[in-house]
Amino acid sequence: MSLAEYRRKRQFSGTREPEPGKRLPQGKRAIFIVQLHHASRRHYDFRLQIGDALKSWAVPKGPSYDPTVKRMAVEVEDHPVDYAGFEGEIPKGHYGGGHVAQFDHGVWSTEHDPEAQLAKGHLHFELFGDKLKGGWHLVRSGKAARQPQWLLFKDRDEYAGTLEADDLLADVTPPPEEDAKRAGRGKAVRKSRTGVPVLAGTKKRDWAKRAAKLPGARKAAAPTEFFAPQLARLGDAPPQGEQWLHEIKWDGYRIVATVAKGKARLWSRNALDWTAKVPEITAAIEALGLQSAALDGELIAGTGKRADFNLLQATLSGEKMGSLSYALFDLLHIDGIDIADAPLVERKALLQDVLGDGTRHLSYSSHAVGDGEEAFALASQQDFEGIISKRADRPYHPGRGDDWRKTKALHGDEYAVVGYTAPKGSRSGFGSLLLATPDREHGWRYVGRVGSGFSDELLKQLTRRIGRAGRKEPTVFVPENDTDLRSAQWFDPRFVVEVNFRGVGGQGLLRQPSLKAVRDDKSVDDLRDSDSGSRGATKANAATTRGKATKKTAPRLNKPIARTPPKLSSPTKVLYPDDGYTKLDVANYYTAVMDHLLPEIAGRPLSIIRCPSGTANACFFQKHHTPGMELVRFVRLKEETGNNANYLVVDDAAALMELVQFNALEFHPWGAHADDPDRADRVVFDLDPGPDVPFAEVKRAALDVRRRLDEIGLESFLRTTGGKGLHVVVPLAPVDEWTLVKRFAQSFAEVMAQSEPDRFLSVASKRLRNKRIYVDYLRNGRGATAVASYSLRARPGAPVAMPLAWNELGALKRGDAFTLADVPERLKRRRKDPWAGMTKLRQNLASFAGAE
């Protein structure tokens, strides 16, 4: 309904209700408001801000904290946002005449587009008020009615209980006696509370006793004010050595937090109070049950990758909806004990124990010890901003220093110069160069401007080169209205420059670009001819560093100490929030498919994806063994850096279930076994389609790959990825070394791309992938991994990577067609394993090696 319906029902000359047209201050998060309305019938008005209006429902009995109680909610007309401040009398004879009182208000959030969810009939959301907290559902009823009817009910979370809205009326303004009689009273004995208490964890731990044992620990008063955070210096490469630990560099806002007398306060890096700005984080910290604390971390949206930073900004400004979380990486004070002088690695160990499995809005920022280059390569592959490297043995101290170092993932590409801006300050010549890239739809598209990286001499040269060229009107398509371009001078593409940058923003504009070189060896026609579509960033530093093991340094294997699976903790914790699947559901799934999954991963070095707070929050890759894992063994391998590392290895069901207990959702094995890591026993071609490629084309591509492999005498097998694409897998006898396997895979992908450039691509750039399929060969190298058959994916719907027979491909509709809910039953009905006999094939790449 529109606000026209709200206006039609009211005469604003006779009621104090706000007339549409006014708005609350912009730049604020989306709000919710609940009002107690004594009209002809007493009810609660439940309202959620979506855009510039309050979507509204009348809830006769009010919200209940009991998840089994589903309250009818009748959809009514939208209200203006400033109705949130209304309280008092609506005169008799007017629509809704009676007393309106404020019951609760705050901000709210949801993971996905709220309007799309409402259109589908199920909105899953969180409320952050004084009385209403945690997760809730609105589900459209199937009953026919004059006004749409919904069901409002509580999520099964840490706030669920027996409280009713009528229990929380102690501070709500009562109506006049006449209105109360007409509308009906609530039960007076229930008006006993003003809010819902913070629900701390049930386990009480003596954190102070443990903290006091750390080196440098001392008793101290609870911190109550902002403290200056420790900062990192920017470096060109990660520092090396076992004394360094490496964390993901989250793309968010740095936040420090204090707790005093159980109450949390949050500050931004520049000392602004953010306590009320992110109430979900404040409440989550208080729910830890600490009396005093000092914490350091990063506020993120989504998974905290570069692509999620725009969502974070839009969520905080109210433009979009997103779930926020606090990725914690340091603990400086706890329950009266200052531990800032303790070694970082010991502070983090205590922090991890305090957080446990984490919550929806709090997560532990894990780390890897040593292997800085590999940590950086992995972060770059996963599209994180980079890594932060920290001295594991050092105390915490404010300000910038060499104990913390950051390494950012740079991107680089070549662009045409299409204009310039005027110089500012003491600079002469020009301020910045305007850049463009070839674009199918518009010819050329503006991608930003570069103003740094110029020497004085180069400024003079380029100024002479540009001369008096230029006009006011853009000569290329400009996707964003940039006020700094009002005085810009534009011309047709003239010459080529190479630029480094830190990522690409929401409008396709380069972030923090810096000039690398002027490419006089290339013309603007070279840019257009080399690309049949939109250009973009070429990811730098994306190749994973591979380790090297030799027969002289054969890996040492440690033995498992027990074979009984661990008891599953937090079985009701929701890991797939969109689908409601819990940790127990995940454990039951892996138990059901164990006989099929285990042969895929047993005895191989293994990477996992862990989601301690569910798939809606930060997940992370892990490949190294960590303390606490008793059933999972490790293989010790020497890496290219010269360091030895303990890689995860699973041998049986008990070890696999231990990883499930550690909230592992995905399993990614090497293409080799732990006892012979230098020889591959499979090749995996990952067919990854661009955004405009129909799935029918992906299926055709898989058949083409199969045909080409068959022509050179290699039998192949098919698997869905649980995502958009397909895997074509070639089993090998473990006689080929990784250098040969990778060379073969790369050559195969390049031949496909060269033979049909309109269909295939052999480079990883996502911006070149439009309407084409990337034949990803990079999963074929020592240390590279691919998702295992029967593994879940940490994505909405809980999809599964599923092996198929080639004759099943025709009927396949999607790459994520199989899920946690249907795979176990499918396996029971299946007559034959489509990959049966695969491990008995003894094919190899000898003929390819001879051709080389």
> Among 363-377, 436-450, 527-541, 780-794, which stretch is predicted with the lowest mean pLDDT?
527-541
* Strand (E) or helix (H) holding 282: helix 279-286
Among 822, 281, 365, 323, smallest CA distance to 578 is for: 323
Q: What is the pLDDT of residue 213?
A: 96
CA angle 306, 312, 315 (to 5 degrees): 155
Instruction: Provide the β-strand partners of residue 760.
Output: 773
The answer to whether 801 and 721 have CB atoms below 8 angstroms apart is yes
Q: What is the pLDDT of residue 178?
A: 62
Q: What is the mean pLDDT of residues 228-236?
A: 89
- pLDDT exceeds 90 at position 343: yes
Q: Which pair of structure tokens corresponds to residue 535? A: 């250009």
Give CA–CA dist 69/166, Å, rounded: 14
Q: Which comes out higher in pLDDT, residue 278 or 544?
A: 278
Give CA–CA dist 802/542, Å, rounded: 27
Give CA–CA dist 218/200, Å, rounded: 26
Give CA–CA dist 704/698, Å, rounded: 10
Give CA–CA dist 251/312, Å, rounded: 9
Give CA–CA dist 409/544, Å, rounded: 13
Query: Is 0.95 surpassed by the pTM of this model?
Result: no
> Among 123-137, 351-365, 506-520, which stretch is predicted with the lowest mean pLDDT?
506-520
Q: What is the pLDDT of residue 613?
A: 84
**Interval 87-104: pLDDT, tens:** 999 999 899 999 999 999
Q: Tell me the residue type at 5.
A: E
Q: What is the mean pLDDT of residues 179-206?
A: 58
Q: What is the pLDDT of residue 776?
A: 93
C-alpha pair distances (Å), 764 with each of 431, 538, 540, 760: 33, 8, 10, 11
What's 766's DSSP letter?
Answer: G
CA angle 717, 718, 719 (to 5 degrees): 135
Q: What is the pLDDT of residue 529?
A: 56
> Among 70-79, 534-543, 722-731, which stretch is predicted with the lowest mean pLDDT?
534-543
Task: List the domains of the chain with CATH numbers.
Answer: 3-190 (no CATH), 207-408 (3.30.470.30), 411-537 (2.40.50.140), 551-669 (3.90.920.10), 679-781+797-851 (3.90.920.10)
Q: What is the mean pLDDT of residues 189-203?
A: 55
**Interval 206-224: pLDDT, tens:** 999 999 999 999 999 999 9
Q: Which pair of structure tokens corresponds to residue 850? A: 């001879």
Known active-site residue 133? no
- pLDDT exceeds 90 at position 1: no
- pLDDT exceeds 70 at position 437: yes
Q: What is the mean pLDDT of residues 47-53?
A: 91
DSSP string, 467-503: TT--BSS-SSB--S--GGGTT-EE-S---EEEEEES-
The answer to whether 267 and 408 have CB atoms below 8 angstroms apart is no
The answer to whether 661 and 568 have CB atoms below 8 angstroms apart is yes
Confidence of residue 788 (pLDDT cuts 50, 70, 90): very high
Terminal C-alpha separation, the chain = 69
Torsion of CA 473, 478, 483, 487, to 10 degrees: -30
Instruction: Provide the β-strand partners of residue 436.
Output: 416, 446
Confidence of residue 847 (pLDDT cuts 50, 70, 90): low
Q: Which pair of structure tokens corresponds to residue 688? A: 């990854």
Give CA–CA dist 618/598, Å, rounded: 27
Q: What is the mean pLDDT of residues 234-248?
A: 90
Catalytic option among 249, 277, 573, 699: 249
Give CA–CA dist 329/248, Å, rounded: 10
The answer to whether 33 and 47 have CB atoms below 8 angstroms apart is yes
- pLDDT exceeds 80 at position 547: no
Q: What is the pLDDT of residue 535?
A: 42
**Strands 760-761 and 605-610, sheet pairing:** unpaired
Question: The tokens 């397909």 sit on which residue?
Answer: 726
Give CA–CA dist 285/265, Å, rounded: 9
Q: What is the mean pLDDT of residues 357-370?
A: 88
> Among 277-291, 325-339, 612-626, 667-681, which stretch is predicted with the lowest mean pLDDT?
612-626
The answer to whether 463 and 428 have CB atoms below 8 angstroms apart is yes
For 481, counting Cβ atoms within 10 Å of its Cβ (0-12 exposed, 13-18 middle, 19+ buried), the class is exposed
Q: What is the pLDDT of residue 180?
A: 59
**Strands 773-776 and 803-804, sheet pairing:** unpaired
Q: Which comes out higher in pLDDT, residue 849 or 772?
A: 772
Among 54, 618, 215, 594, smallest CA distance to 379 is for: 618
Question: The tokens 């409002």 sit on which residue?
Answer: 152
The answer to whether 234 and 408 have CB atoms below 8 angstroms apart is yes
- pLDDT exceeds 80 at position 182: no
C-alpha pair distances (Å), 604 with each of 152, 344, 757: 48, 32, 36
Instruction: Provide the β-strand partners of residue 438.
Output: 444
**Interval 70-91: pLDDT, tens:** 999 999 999 999 999 999 999 9
Rg of the chain taking only CA atoms, in angstroms: 30
Exposure b/e, 484-508, CB count within 10 A at least 16 = b: ebeebbbbebebbbebbbbbbbeeb
Q: What is the pLDDT of residue 200?
A: 47
DSSP string, 109-171: E-SS-HHHHHHHTEEEEEEEESS-EEEEEEEE--S--SS-EEEEEE-SSTT-SS-BGGGG-TT
Q: What are phi and psi of 24, to 5 degrees?
A: -70, 160
- pLDDT exceeds 90 at position 188: no
Confidence of residue 538 (pLDDT cuts 50, 70, 90): very low
Exposure b/e, 203-218, CB count within 10 A at least 16 = b: eeeebbebbbebeebe
Q: What is the pLDDT of residue 542?
A: 30
Sheet with 230-234, edge to edge strand ranges: 230-234, 399-408, 386-391, 244-248, 367-369
DSSP string, 501-530: ES-B-TTSPBSS-EEEEE-TT--HHHHHHT
The mean pLDDT of the chain is 86
The answer to whether 758 and 772 have CB atoms below 8 angstroms apart is yes
Helix (H, G, I), strand (E, B) or coil at 791: coil
Confidence of residue 309 (pLDDT cuts 50, 70, 90): confident
Q: What is the mean pLDDT of residues 689-716?
A: 94
Q: Mind spelling out the 3-state secondary structure of 688-721?
A: EECCCCCHHHHHHHHHHHHHHHHHCCCCCEEEEC
Give CA–CA dist 672/675, Å, rounded: 9
Q: Percentage of residues in the chain with pLDDT exceeding 70?
A: 89
